[in-house]
Chain A
Amino acid sequence: MKEISNKVKEIANRLLAEGQVDVFLAWEKGDQDYLTRPLAARSVEEAERIVCDEYSIHNLSNYLLKFRDGQEKIGLVVKGCDSRGIIRLLEDKQFTRDRLYIVGVCCPGMNDPLKAIKRNSGLLPWADPEDKADKCSSCAYPNPVIYDELLGSEQQPNVSGERQAKIEEIENLSPDQRYEYFRCEFERCIRCYACRQACVACNCRVCIFDEMRPQWVGRENNETDNMMYHLVRAYHMAGRCVECGECQRVCPVDIPLMLINSKLAKDANEFFGPYEAGIKYQEDSKPALSVYSLDDPDEGFM
């Protein structure tokens, strides 16, 4: 990764110095070896701080939403999952391709700084001794699917089946059992909306959960409203989620959101497929559920 890190810094330097980009999104180092955090470099001086290492887990394509109304040219570093996020934004017409310079990095699997931070914080009952990010244990797209420049050697997908196994296990439960499983999980939810904020596909200007006219879901932290929040959000993600796993990573109370999102992605593929969100960008390509054809299947999702 050291070589890639240096190359990224070099590229950022060049792009900023030549004025090809106004902002370059990458990472910088904190004062511990696991403290890598996002950085938006706007000058060659700031670009000196750039790294891209094994703790560069963050999905930088989410930051593009901060710039969507501007004119700036943005350079950014993306791994496989992040690059799908860019296609998500392009398809949703939230950004235009000509404003981007995409540096793709073939990803060998990342460590999650949050794991190390949480382990060292003394606040959790059980500390995973490994920093390897949970979402990376099951990765279908380690290589970027859209880029202007590609770094690193091609990686093999790693679909170990852990998440798929859990999904199958839940599929085999009765509807009541499934409800109970998720009810227990959502009970912990504190409605902090971090999952929504971390999600690239959540890019509505006024989120449905912020609407007051009418108010679709109340802000009470109870079974009903928590369920409604998660299920409505999941349905808005159906066919659009690029499975980058950030939602689950940022959740402060450890809710297994990717189970639902992966299940819906699986169903979208089964019903409307072959289909995977954000794999290939074409002018006017649309998410599966944004297209209606007369021979669409009638079965519900869950």
Chain B
Amino acid sequence: MKILSKDKLESVLDKLAESAQVFVPLSRANSSGFYSWENRNPEKEQLMLDTLNVYMSPKNIGFPQTEKMYSIIQSGAEAQIKETFEDSNPRIIFGIRACDARAIRCLDDVFLTRGYTDSFYQARRENMVIIANACYSPGPNCFCAAMGVNPTEPEADIIIRDTGDSGYIWEAQTAKGEELTAGISSLLEEKELKAPEMKPFPTQVDYSGVAEKLKGMFEHPLWEEMAQTCQNCGICTYVCPSCHCFDIQVKSWGDEGYRYRCWDSCMYTEYTAEAGGGNPRPTTKERFRNRFLHKLEFFTERYGYPLCTGCGRCIAACPTGINIVKIIDQVKEASVDD
């Protein structure tokens, strides 16, 4: 089998960076996320392949926080779309976990299927290679397996498995993966190594039947109670690897301008606020309910698997201690009798 030894890791990243933007898990101030390897500040920013995961998810690579779409000119009665900004530069995401790889698949299903193909997402995604880091030691907030994700078999073009000092087992899974592997084969070795043992999940949660049960729970009093302490701050939606709501806005000056899209959050009041003044989700309860139903029921109904991938970031980020695992537990225990 192919092996990447740890002392060759940086060389591999450097080589890959010659022909693509390489994104790796990096520390940044006292936070972490997927940032550019070649543009890192080596004194202040460290590679975080040995930690469980990073705080900010890699969704910003295929689905950036802000993405310019097309430029416009309007002069009096004349108007024109000048150019569109699909960005198909090659990108490599190195070292994501199975939960985040599943989230990318969620985004693929949202943006590339169901009648329309989002040209901006497609441009980025076409030339993106995903190298995932198989996970054998789930953390205290992890529950990916309960959501149907296999931590040791991430959905990716290449899987690396950390065997410790001996290095990473390197397994190409797709044609894209094979192609990339061929390009760095001189930096890989042939050796037989054993993959680590999978440790148990500290947190147990049972999602089975929850999507079905939630169908009948729209008016359940549980939502009022669970939404009490939510401050609608939006952090959960921003750290989540699969949340994909976006806004389309325009920036213009004089005759020129451009349209861009940016992340939005269903937690914000004006998310569903209509021009005429109506708002179907005026208070925290409605927005809270909508978010969790989307994650646990609506997406499952629509695409066949849940939108929540069990990464646990929202649990670590929520300032008021709202925990999706507890919500799943409460839903399972709730009595639905009307």
Residues of A within 8 A of B (CB): 30, 35-40, 58, 62-63, 66, 113-114, 117-118, 120-126, 185, 188, 190-194, 197-198, 210, 215, 218-222, 246, 249-250, 252-255
Contact = CB atoms under 8 A, between A and B. Distances in A.
The winner among A113, A192, A198 for most chain B CB atoms within 10 A is A192
B45 to A, nearest CB: 9
Interface residues of B, number: 50
B316 A117 contact: yes
B235 A222 contact: no
A125 B49 CA distance: 11
A252 B238 CA distance: 9
Interface of B: 27-32, 46, 48, 51-56, 65-66, 139-141, 228-229, 231-235, 237-239, 247, 249, 251, 260, 262-263, 265, 268-270, 284, 312-313, 315-317, 319-323
Given A193-B268, A220-B66, A222-B66, A122 B238 contact: no
7 smallest beta-carbon distances between A and B, as pairs: A37-B321, A122-B52, A125-B27, A197-B233, A194-B233, A121-B316, A250-B319
Nearest to A38: B229
A37 B320 contact: yes
A198 B233 CA distance: 7
Given A125-B30, A221-B262, A254-B29, 11 more contacts: A37-B320, A121-B140, A126-B30, A190-B238, A190-B263, A193-B233, A219-B66, A219-B247, A221-B65, A252-B238, A253-B55
Nearest to B311: A123
Contact of B262 (A113, A220, A250, A253): A220
A117 B315 contact: yes
A220 B54 CA distance: 23
B139 A122 contact: yes
25 contacts: A35-B321, A38-B228, A114-B319, A121-B315, A122-B53, A123-B313, A124-B55, A185-B29, A188-B29, A191-B65, A191-B262, A192-B234, A192-B237, A194-B233, A194-B234, A197-B233, A197-B234, A198-B319, A210-B269, A215-B249, A220-B251, A250-B235, A253-B28, A253-B31, A254-B31
A125 B55 CA distance: 9
Given A117-B315, A210-B269, A218-B251, A124 B231 contact: no
Given A221-B65, A254-B31, A36 B56 contact: no
A191 B270 CA distance: 15
B48 A221 contact: no
B312 to A, nearest CB: 7
B244 to A, nearest CB: 15
Nearest to A225: B66
Nearest to B47: A125
Nearest to A63: B229
Contacts of A218: 249, 251
A42 to B, nearest CB: 9
Nearest to B323: A30
A190 B65 contact: yes
B199 to A, nearest CB: 13
Nearest to A224: B251
B317 A252 contact: yes
A194 B239 CA distance: 12
Contacts of A221: 65-66, 262-263
A124 B317 CA distance: 11
Contacts of B321: 30, 35-38, 113
